[in-house]
Amino acid sequence: METQRKVAVFGAYGHTGRFVVAELARRGFAPVPAGRDAARLAELAAGLGLGEVRPASADDPAALDRALAGTAAVVNCAGPFAATAGPVVEAALRAGIPYVDVAAEIEANHDTFERYADPAKAAGTAVVPAMAFYGGLGDLLATVAMGDWTSADEAHVAYGLSGWHPTPGTRASGTVSHERRGGRRVRFSGGRLAYHDDPLPAETWDFPGPLGRRAVVADFTMADSVTIPRHLLVPEVRGYMTVEAVEELSSPDTPPPAPADEHGRSAQTFVVDVELRRGTERRRATASGRDIYAVSAPLAVEAVARILDGRTKTVGVASAGEMFDAADLLRALAPHVTVDLP
């Protein structure tokens, strides 16, 4: 495999990282597993027949440089991203290669945009945070829904999950985010991230059939609150999550996701329903599929492929909808994702 087809995957042995490694191999890339645990890297490589692994820790810049040497891009799958995003972005900039991550942490994504916008632009390097189920998919849908509007009053992102069995990584990232917020909640309102202590309201959301009207927890804010307003003029971004998913996520007794097919995907299904509102006008875009962790892999790998092929709209730090042709990318996700676009 040619050097320009090598893609480093930091945190390759994690739950989402394994899906990314498999998707890279399926797409004809040569995945280079990297991460701090050499034994787990070796186990992963042996199971997939990979010939090269590169142990590295996020707090060791020299090791990160060795891990990225000779690769064409890096996908960061190692949470909590509050600890890994910065060091891996900096290593990617030193190597002169694009960076993609699957971070769902609101503050970590905000930090990436704020800290690395100028360095990445100066380097002419693409940095795409939150290129995953949370952050990336909603942003792509919102971008398509916006269409020829120059602004909207509100963006609503409703997640219809059949349930949510969180990975250990999700729980660890949630703990870090909770600590960073001092236990408060966050929403994007009035054109900024605002922290609050009031309880999350119970509402209903009319998902497309067959899901239909479901009870949801409103103001359930995810990474879309960072990615959407970075490039779309929308002062209010509201999130919603089905009650069943919130209850499972909140319970410490909920087990991690279990494989239910030959690809290792769980039985979880999802619908992401995005609605933009401007006055009395409404525009909607929807995506559905299976397993929120597994589907992050085709999203991240499609991003890598498009960056390396030059199918981008900008350089520097950008969200999915700002970096790529949103409608074209969403349609390219088939059969992993089914979309209904305006």
pLDDT tens string for the chain (342 positions)? 444 599 999 999 999 999 999 999 999 999 999 999 999 999 999 998 998 999 999 999 999 999 999 999 999 999 999 999 999 999 999 999 999 999 999 999 999 999 999 999 999 999 999 999 999 999 999 999 999 999 999 999 999 999 999 999 999 999 999 999 999 999 999 999 999 998 899 999 999 988 999 999 999 999 999 999 999 999 999 999 999 999 999 999 999 999 999 999 999 999 999 999 999 999 999 999 999 999 999 999 999 999 999 999 999 999 999 999 999 999 999 999 999 999
pLDDT at residue 51 in the model: 84
How much of the chain is in helix, strand and coil states, percent to nearest 5?
Answer: 40, 25, 35
Q: Provide the CA 78 distance to its chain's centre, in angstroms.
A: 12
Would you say how long the chain is, in residues?
Answer: 342
Q: Is the dihedral of CA 275, 77, 325, 110 positive or negative?
A: positive
What domains lie within the chain, and their CATH numbers?
A: 3-131+295-340 (3.40.50.720), 134-290 (3.30.360.10)
Which residue, among 214, 195, 198, has the nearest Cα to 206 in the 3D structure? 214
Distance of alpha carbon 178 from alpha carbon 184, whole angstroms: 7
pLDDT for the residue numbered 2: 45
The structure tokens listed for 304 are 């890598």
Report the distance separating Cα 81 and Cα 275, nearest Å.
28
Residue with tokens 């890279």: 24
Among residues 57, 54, 123, the alpha carbon closest in space to that of 92 is found at: 123
Which amino acid, residue 316?
G
User: What DSSP string runs through 240-271?
Assistant: EEEHHHHHHHH-TTPPPP---STT---S-EEE
- Output the pLDDT for position 209: 84
Return the pLDDT at 4: 53
- Residue pair 214/158 in contact (Cβ under 8 Å)? The answer is no
The string of DSSP codes covering 125-166 is -EEETT-SIIIIIHHHHHHHHHTT-S--SEEEEEEEES----
Rounded distance between C-alpha atoms, residue 5 and residue 272, angstroms: 32
Instruction: Round to whole Å and give the CA distance between 166 and 250.
Output: 9
Q: How far apart are CA 57 and CA 139, in angstroms?
A: 30
Q: What Rg do the C-alpha atoms of the chain give, in angstroms?
A: 19
In the prediction, which pLDDT does 112 show? 98
Residue 21 Cα to chain centre, angstroms:
16
